[in-house]
Amino acid sequence: MTHQRRLREVTFTLAYERGVDPVADVLHEHPTLQASKISVTLGPMSAVQLVRLTGPPEAADRLQTVLEDREFRPRPIGIEPCRATNTVYPLECTPRRRLCCVYVDELDDCPSIDSAIAAASGTGTICECNAHAGREQWRVLLRSDECVGDLFDLVEETCTAGIDVELGHIGEATTWHGDDFVGSDLTGTQQQAIAEAAARGYYERPREVTIGELAAELDVPESTLSYRLRMAESRLVKRYLERHAELEDAPLA
């Protein structure tokens, strides 16, 4: 019987204060806007990335302009700027959704997450990043845990004032969320509604806030908020059931 190998994963979150980073500032100002990235390192100074922007057309336009002004270069988390040669290939462009492929070459030893991942883990490392409302959630897939300490030390040491880093977890990677990246996902308003509801205790037992109180805090009609939550919950339940069925049908090693 062949032993089934599993990738390891490490997750962490960066929280940006306002005024620290132009991209994070746009996300702060437009809470229904989301930026996502899947990246694979091709070498110590190169990577290929899929970058997606979703949200209101005006906000997506503004974020795309900021990224283009920076030529889609890796974003610095330290004081020094990042330098790289990037080639951008648009794949999809609709009013609420932009998707492009970015080839990064000649990346210098700059203070960025991309450089830290390349330096600590090497070629072939896969990572996901989801940015929303000034927060970036990173997930890095690794072949072993040996470089996790170096990676996290590099990130912590590099982050400038105004960027807080928090380690999530280290463990076995058993799922892949890339289908969410290219498939149906929650809309920006649905994501905001369910995130705010969870943060304010709507899903606690007993509930810490009613739907009416939550709607008043978010300044939206109660019927609108209720609809957004129902749609988000429906999508999440369907996604869970689909994945659970796939795991049950998967052959044992």
Q: Helices 57-69 and 22-29 meet at what angle, rounded to 10?
A: 180
Give residue 240's pLDDT. 67
What is the structure's pLDDT at 184? 45
pLDDT at 253: 46
CB 214 within 8 A of CB 197: yes
Out of 79-83, 88-92, 203-207, 243-247, pick the least confident: 243-247
**100-135 pLDDT tens trace:** 999 988 777 777 888 888 777 777 888 899 998 899
Stretch 168-179: mean pLDDT: 71
In the structure, what pLDDT confidence band is assigned to residue 204 with cuts at 50, 70 and 90? confident
Element (H, E) at 211: helix 211-218
Smallest CA-to-CA distance from 11 within 128, 89, 93 is with 128
Residue 3 has pLDDT above 90, yes or no: no
Q: Where are the alpha helices (DSSP H) in 53-170?
A: 57-69, 113-121, 148-158
Instruction: Tokens for 18, please give them.
Output: 């306002």
Domains of the chain, residue spans: 8-175, 188-249
Using left for φ > 0, alpha for ψ between -120 and 50, and beta otherwise, residue 136 falls in: beta
- Residue 47 pLDDT class (50, 70, 90 cuts): confident
Q: Which residue has the higher pLDDT, 127 or 5?
A: 127
Percent of the chain with pLDDT over 90: 20
Average pLDDT, the chain: 81
Asked whether the whole model's pTM tops 0.75, one would answer no
Terminal Cα distance for the chain, rounded: 7
